[in-house]
Amino acid sequence: MREKLLYGAGLAAFLLLARNILVIADLPGEAAQGAIFKIIFFHVPAAWTAMVAATAALTLSILFLKTKDFRYDAAAVAVTEVGLAFLAANLVTGSIWGRVIWGIWWTWDVRLTSALVCWLLYAGYLMLRHAIEEPTQRATFAAVFSIFAFIDVPIVIFSIRWFRTQHPGPVFLSSTGSFPHDWTMVLLWNWVALMLLASILGAIRLGQEETQREIDYVRRMAHAL
């Protein structure tokens, strides 16, 4: 059942993504920036997906601490890893875009820095997990760390509203936004596709984590007997 669901979702994501890419390729280039502008259709949804993943990680971590149920822990790892990948996609696309538009790969403004720091924090989460052997301790410490790490997410989101940055200001969901409506729809659809993709990746990772736990259990019992 779960397998079938995964395959179905995978197919849907693939089709949606293919359609979106065709639509995006068809759009005319933006007036000032030309074709490179189209990177926004991946840059922004990737960031949003990562933020959603971070929020999910926070929720799952709190749930783990409340219930001590290891399934939440496994889900938190899966979600964090996927979110990290999408945040990396955001960083890379942003860098490429910046290279073309600004002429530099990187600049230290609040948006870019906070996004990088966010990535570092969640990478730290994974390293912390690797450094702890005892499963209960690993899950607990990682959950606590994840809760702390979430502080950076609102800063990433609001940095362009709070502070003057070199990074473009808000263009969606704000009164000053100047994004054509149909383009917004394309972007939203692409977000749906990426979210779907993220969910599938997350489900696969979760499956792996759970299988790993079962294997561990069986191996332990084998040792004990």
Partner 1 sequence: MEFARLVFVIMAKDLRAELRTKEAVNASFAFAVVILVLLSFVVESNDVPLPVLGGLLWLVFAFAGTLVLNRSFAREVPNDCLDALIAAPISGAALFLGKALANFLLVLVVELVALPVFGIFYNVRWTQQFWQLMLVVVLGTWGVTVIGTVFSALTVNIRLREVMLPMLTYPMLLPALLGAMELTGSLVTGAPIGPETVTWLKLLIGFDVLFTAASVTLVEFILVG
Partner 2 sequence: MSAVAVEGVWKFYGDFPALRDVCLTAEQGACLALIGRNGAGKTTLLRTIAGFSRHGKGEIRILGTSPRETETRRHIGFIGHGISVYDELSALENLTLYARLYGLANPRKAALEWLERTGLERVRDGLVREFSRGMRQRLAVARAFLHEPSVLLLDEPFTALDDRAIAVLQGLLRDGLAQGRTIILSTHQLREALELASHVALLIRGQVAFHGPCTPEMVADPGLVYARYGED
What are the residues binding partner 1 (CB under 8 A)? Answer: 65, 95, 104-108, 110, 113-114, 116-117, 120-121, 123-124, 127-128, 130-132, 136-137, 140-141, 143-145, 147-149, 151-152, 155, 162-163
Residue with tokens 């999408």: 86
**Least Å from the CB of residue 137 to partner 2:** 7
CB 191 within 8 A of CB 49: yes
Burial of residue 76 (number of CB atoms within 10 Å: 0-12, 13-18, 19+): buried
- Per CB under 8 A, the list member of 31, 133, 164, 181 interacting with partner 2 is 133
Task: Answer yes or no whether residue 110 interacts with ligand HEM by CB under 6 A.
Answer: no
- Per CB under 6 A, the list member of 147, 155, 171, 204 interacting with ligand HEM is 171
- Amino acid at residue number 216: D
Task: Answer yes or no whether residue 111 interacts with ligand HEM by CB under 6 A.
Answer: yes
117 binds, among ligand HEM, partner 2, partner 1, none (CB under 5 to 8 A by kind): partner 1
Given CA atoms 98, 99, 105, 108 in this order, what sign does their dihedral have?
Answer: negative
Q: Token pair for residue 105? A: 């790969």
Virtual torsion, Cα 153, 155, 156, 158, nearest 10 deg:
120
**Least Å from the CB of residue 72 to partner 2:** 17
